[in-house]
């Protein structure tokens, strides 16, 4: 195989099949390409629906379905497929692709040829569009400790000119037209050189659902690989399909986001950065809490939110990063 496309299915069989249908006309644009679908212990009819559709549409030649007996999260599910690289030494590239995407024509070929033309690119993404054709920002700045501290106090929005450097959204350039090196790209579409996987290993499985794409790009850059964004290829990304309330409890989802926030600091910048950010967050929420308290707004939903967040941060488990 030359290219392996990895798709994680978690209770989204219809979306996964739509994604496969968009890949079907171009799967041979990159010779010897193959798609691996990992069903992340969906616990519904996903495996049966996928198997039946793959057989009915005669996709068996280029699609393999791997049912997992356990929900391994985004990182673990992708790693289950990435382990297949060990059996295919000739594979040059891997594409991590969300199930809720519709891949537009010529995407696989364009990304393949771009990576072939610049051997310094380790990770690549393309233009991701909402269903209404508006642009999703999937190319941002890394969450360094100083940037995160400024964001915790809202400084990039209070004084945008003075704190442009801390705006993680990396504004000021047109993602619809500009190709350029960036700091990280989202995991909905990550075209990765095989050598990067060999060097770094797979995604960090301590990230269950959020943050693994940021951490992986951080590691790639640390090893001098370029992270590249190119809008000349486009994918429609529906967004949030596996994390909507019918599939993932909102409280559990929020907990994963906060765990990823601190684990990211530990993994990329060390334990001191994690501790610093936690202290900054406590100070930030503490000031907001006191401000509302002084203004006599105890009965407002905003007060309850600040109180609950502050309580969570003050009682954050010391081993949260291990979960």
Of residues 165 and 298, the one with the higher pLDDT is: 165
Percent of the chain past pLDDT 90, that is, above it, reads: 79
Average pLDDT for residues 33-41, to the nearest whole number? 97
Looking at residue 323, what is its pLDDT?
39
> What are φ and ψ of residue 317, in 5° steps?
-60, 140
DSSP string, 104-150: PTTHHHHHHHHHHH-TTEEEEEEEEE-TTSPBP--EE----HHHHHH
Nearest one of 278, 127, 144 to 221, comparing CA atoms: 144
Using 50, 70 and 90 to split pLDDT, how confident is the model at 252? confident
Question: Which pTM was predicted?
Answer: 0.91
CA-atom Rg of the chain in angstroms: 21
Of residues 308 and 20, the one with the higher pLDDT is: 20
Using 50, 70 and 90 to split pLDDT, how confident is the model at 315? confident
Collapsing DSSP to helix, strand or coil, 206 comes out as: coil
Domain at 3-243, CATH from 3.40.20.10, 3.80.10.10, 3.20.20.370, 3.90.550.60: 3.90.550.60
Percent of the chain past pLDDT 70, that is, above it, reads: 94
Q: Residue 310 pLDDT more than 70? A: yes
Lowest mean pLDDT among 38-52, 86-100, 142-156: 86-100
Distance from chain centroid for Cα 256: 13
Nearest one of 227, 222, 188, 312 to 262, comparing CA atoms: 312
Lowest mean pLDDT among 42-46, 88-92, 272-276: 88-92
Average pLDDT for residues 151-178, to the nearest whole number? 96
Looking at residue 246, what is its pLDDT?
58
- Dist CA 176 CA 170 (whole Å): 14
Average pLDDT for residues 266-287, to the nearest whole number? 94
Average pLDDT for residues 191-214, to the nearest whole number? 94
- Dist CA 165 CA 149 (whole Å): 12
Give pLDDT tens digits for 53-72.
Answer: 999 999 999 999 999 999 99
DSSP H/E element including 4: strand 3-9
Q: Residue 257 pLDDT more than 80? A: yes
Of residues 298 and 184, the one with the higher pLDDT is: 184
Domains of the chain by residue range: 3-243, 270-322
Mean predicted lDDT score pLDDT of the chain = 92
Give pLDDT tens digits for 202-212.
Answer: 999 999 889 99
Q: Residue 317 pLDDT more than 80? A: no
């Amino acid at each position: 195989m030359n290219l392996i496309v990895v798709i994680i299915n978690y209770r989204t069989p219809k979306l996964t099949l739509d994604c496969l249908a968009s890949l079907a006309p171009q799967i041979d644009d990159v010779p010897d390409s193959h798609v691996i679908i990992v069903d992340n212990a969906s616990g519904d009819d996903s495996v049966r629906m996928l198997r039946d559709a793959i057989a009915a549409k005669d996709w068996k030649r280029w699609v393999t379905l791997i049912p997992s007996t356990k929900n391994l999260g985004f990182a673990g599910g992708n790693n289950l497929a990435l382990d297949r690289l060990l059996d295919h030494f000739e594979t040059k590239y891997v594409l991590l692709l969300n199930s809720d995407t519709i891949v537009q024509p010529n995407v696989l070929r364009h990304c393949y040829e771009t990576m072939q033309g610049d051997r310094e690119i380790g990770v690549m993404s393309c233009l991701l569009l909402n269903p209404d054709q508006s642009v999703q920002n999937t190319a941002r700045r890394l969450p360094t400790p100083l940037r995160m501290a400024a964001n915790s106090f809202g400084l990039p929005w209070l004084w945008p000119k003075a704190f442009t450097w801390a705006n993680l959204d990396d504004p000021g350039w047109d993602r619809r037209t500009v190709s350029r090196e960036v700091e990280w790209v989202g995991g909905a579409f990550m075209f990765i050189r095989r050598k990067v996987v060999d060097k770094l290993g797979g995604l960090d499985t301590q990230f269950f659902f959020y943050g693994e794409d940021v951490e992986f790009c951080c590691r790639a850059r640390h090893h001098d690989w370029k992270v590249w964004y190119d809008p000349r290829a486009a994918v429609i990304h529906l967004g949030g399909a596996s994390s909507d309330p019918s599939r993932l409890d909102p409280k559990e989802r929020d907990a994963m986001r906060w765990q990823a926030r601190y684990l990211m600091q530990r993994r990329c910048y060390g334990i001191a950065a994690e501790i610093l950010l936690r202290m900054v967050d406590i100070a930030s929420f503490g000031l907001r809490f006191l401000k509302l308290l002084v203004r006599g707004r105890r009965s407002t939903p905003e007060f309850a939110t600040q109180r609950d967040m502050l309580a969570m941060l003050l009682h954050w488990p010391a081993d949260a990063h291990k979960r």
